[in-house]
Structure 1
Amino acid sequence: MNPQLKKYYIFLGASLVFSIGLQIVLGYLGVPWFISIGLVMAIFILLPMYMRRRQMGQMGNYGGSSSGAGGGFFGSGGGQSDSANVRYVCLVCNNKHKGGSCPRCGSKMQRADF
């Protein structure tokens, strides 16, 4: 098993145990059950989300990045400005256009021209 996945499952189990313990403590303190269940569910959902965001941030600043650089399939590209430079060439009439169907012949058969 992947060590990171194992760590995630251990953390998930620990948050479940913590949530159940918190539910019992809040029950003894006289907090209404619907408030304590809501709090426990929020903790059980938010802690793994926080852990995943922190882990994704350590992997290369992909999750919740404040830098504005879009991480893509090939790393941290410039985002939409790089995709605006892609032009397509129609395979039927060899017309260069920006996307969709060919404005000259209407064909949808095209190849990307970088």
Structure 2
Amino acid sequence: MEPFSELFRISTFARFPASGVSERSLARAGWFYTGVGDRVQCFRCNVTAEGWLAGDCPAEKHRQLSPSCSFVQSLKHRPDSVARLYTLFFFLKKFCLFFLAEENIHFSCQICFLFVQEQDH
């Protein structure tokens, strides 16, 4: 396995505490698990982040903490359709979870259902 490849970064999350943020999305955003609490670190710029909450967007948090990181910059060059799909997913997820909490409804749309399923595994 190539050091700091996405597959390698995913493998570092074997003992990551449940946080409501998927290990796959953290790894895709350039983070690897440090083994301390829920602290993650960028393989490129070395910035760290912790205190993850359900609904946090790892790529957005990375961009906020280290906008000049070359990995963050490379995320901007994804094909438009992928970037739009990612944005739509996070908008729908937050909207559905907010709506469900406000209305005290115990079901969710397919996107939220899949997200919740991913978090449970």
In the superposition, the TM-score normalised over structure 1's length comes to 0.26
Structure number with greater CO (CA < 8 Å, separation at least 6) is 2
Q: Which has the higher strand share?
A: 1
